[in-house]
Structure 1
Amino acid sequence: MAPTDQDPLLLLRQSIASGSAIMPTASADAAAPEVSLSQATYLTFTSPTRISLPISTPTRFISNDTPVDLRSIYFAWLNREVAIPEYNSFASQLNQDLGGKGQVHKFAYIEKLELMTWLEGASEDSECIKPLAGDKDGSASTAAAALASKGTTAPVAGSALGRSGKGTLDPRLASIYNSERKMGDRNSVLRGIKPTDFSHVRKLAASFMTKKPLHPSSSNVASNPSIASHQKQKRPDPIILLSPSASSLLRMSNIKSFLDGCQYVPPNSLTATSSTTANMLHINRLMKDIDTNRPMRFILVEGTEQFKPEYWNRVVAVFTTGQTWQFKNYKWSNPNELFRHIPGIYVGWRGEQPPESVRAWGHRVMNVAVDRWKNPGTTTVDSSRWRDREAVEGVWKAIESNMRAKGWKRDQAPSSI
């Protein structure tokens, strides 16, 4: 059986895409009933065939250099809509119920976001998920994941199953597979049966390379393996911190309509598009001065409780109301020190002076003014809010300018800020 057929992550993603049942069971028997997660020793997938894997099976998802087990992955998926504090509470309760028979891993919220995005099929790669064994470039796992996201599986010659899913070989598929032309991999094509030395080809090619030099950027990459490996690294997502204060004009419930839709609505308005219980959001924005072809995904959060030290190098803006308690758990709790590293943004009503604390922080905090909301109870868009777009574009321009100054590039983020 191919590695992709019993890979826990791919099986879970395929089952989610097809909507098939996933059952925790106490045995691998086909008739085993579903049990609670604390009593389960197997996780049974029902599509395309019934496969039971030990629930403690380590997966390719790596956290702190340690593979995360299948129970923790499945538990995180069940609680994907739950806020981080409640998720941690549920995980602690499950650990107590397990009674030492296992331990549920508690994901940091950036890790959880990466995992949920991959399982839902919104992305085909993740810096936390290792490629399958023998698939160094990730092509096989990416193809299998793409098929899984469409509710299908990669066909494997000699192991095709019929529609019944009980292990019966479909004669029509067997006939098709028998007519297939066997394709060799790159090793068999280049080397054949015996290892072949191709070092002499380099001498023959040297004369051609001197006459027709490669493009400067390409030659630099070819001659410097460290540059080539660095370019293959995935660019991390920048982070924007919001103020958790109840007096803030921008909260998780309305920040997306402001930064993405260029329309300000009150946090508690009926027109607010995001759930007030969400603890993280992401917005795609094309930053033309950094990458003209690929939009950047910005992660928006209110708290830093689950921050790893390296996450601070990815913070590109901090929204504030001027209340210093917001920075208590930040890497730099002193506002003057904080805004020397990260630009601040204060959003207030047009015609009103910002708080004294914001004015004292000087040019390091950008003041953005928006018009007051005229119809707080309406469900329609206020057509008079055309000046919101000007304010939003000013915010993005300031963020992009700071990112370029800090060293954000098309394929990498700054190592320190």
Structure 2
Amino acid sequence: MEQLDALLGLKNSISKNETPKLLANENTNSGVEKLSEAKFVAFAESPKPFNLDENTKFIKLETSEPFTLRSIYFAWLLRDSSIADYIQQCSEYGIRNLTFLERTDLISWLEGSAESEHVVGLETKETGKAEVPTREHKVGEKSEQVKWLQDNSRVVSNHNTILHGAKPTNFLSLRKDVLDYIHMNKSSHGSAAEDADRSAKRRNRDPIILLSPSASSLLTMHNVKKFLEEGIFVPPLEAAQAAGGGRGSGLVTVNHKSSKSNLGTMRFIVVDNTENFKPDYWNRVVCVFTTGQAWQFRDYKWSEPHQLFHHVKGFLVQYIGDAPHPATRDWNVEGVFVERVRRHTDREVVSQLWDKLERWVENRWPLLNGGRR
């Protein structure tokens, strides 16, 4: 029997509803129950077991670094867990975790999806032995692959593909806008009218972040600027009292210095309602913070949660110790966990939030100015 690739062995076992056998060593009689006790895994179609710590052909796109079979199998075993629970258990067992999108893509592929941009150089019976492409080769071919997929693919209506989305999208237009924005800041000032005109143009293309107007929201118009700019979470009631009460400003600007040198300092517009939205404003919405209540989206361009979080990045802010909200499992929404009293972890939490939003923006977002989604 010809030895299969480890990824194909796992995928075939899943398709046939067969449970792989965990082994303490290469001896097929040394079965164990826990993944933490196992060194090898055996699939029914494979003549010999696979080392769980060997690299697979499922890679991280940013670095082309492969994930081990242990990471892949653990992600599959915890496929029904929330992303927060999954990451926590990865930390407990010392297993490298996949990001939300990587895990979603992996599960979709293991469950039968024909394509995954994370799987490279996989040998199949149909294609023969495939060469593992270098990162330069992969990037060079990516546009042709995406074009072919767009022309020849159809939407598969399963839970995971709806959450994951159809394809990655280049975000070069936002980079251009940001560089123009930086250039305008550095250029000498003209007349007051010219300065006002430049300011209006910048506002008209700044990315937009939407907050939930729910009374239960931990992130409000009173505390969002301090949270996103300074990395300090002020409980909403305390922030409202400090501001003199009321609903707060109808619009807040948040400046963020990107960790990516080519993006520089970006400015975001934050609002908690869409009453004054023009149709083209939706092309600029990059992120929605939710409390998990679907009524928040009633007047949105995309009122159905799964559709909405296919188009925008979703976050849900909770206190550490609270059970993960079902929305972080059922929708394409990531949990953001803050301490109730101690503030020493806030800056790290916000830094991770920005990293996730930047990756989303770069990898998946279409044109802000007149783009189509």
TM-score (norm 2): 0.44
Larger radius of gyration: 1
